[in-house]
Amino acid sequence: MPDKRVVGQVIRNNTVGALGISAADVFLALVPVPKENFSFGRGEVQLAKVSQQRPNLPHHRFSIRSDHHH
């Protein structure tokens, strides 16, 4: 618990200093994430166990639409 408080204080102090806002306006949520669900970048979940089977993930189509006319 003390480590979390120190992290919170550092985040609060840096945010207040950088943005010039009141400490009362800084809200933090420290949410534990299982290591197998964490990514160190590149969109890869490096600590997840590798399975021989392909995961059964839903298929989604993504589209980017712009309503801005230039």
pLDDT tens, position by position, 28-62: 998 888 888 888 888 888 888 765 455 555 555 55
Is residue 29 domain-resident? yes
| The overall pTM is greater than 0.95 | no
What local confidence, expressed as pLDDT, does residue 26 receive? 95
pLDDT of res. 50: 67
Tokens 């160190």 belong to residue: 40
> Of 7 and 54, which is predicted with more confidence?
7
Which three-class secondary structure string do you get for 31-63? CCCCHHHCCCCCCCCCCCCCCCCCCCCCCCCCC
User: What pLDDT does 67 receive?
Assistant: 57
12-23 pLDDT per residue, tens: 999 999 999 999
Could you tell me if residue 14 is inside a domain? yes
In a domain, 59, yes or no: no
Residue 50 to residue 47: CA distance in whole angstroms: 9
Range of the domain at 13: 2-37
Q: How many domains does the chain have?
A: 1
70 within domain boundaries? no
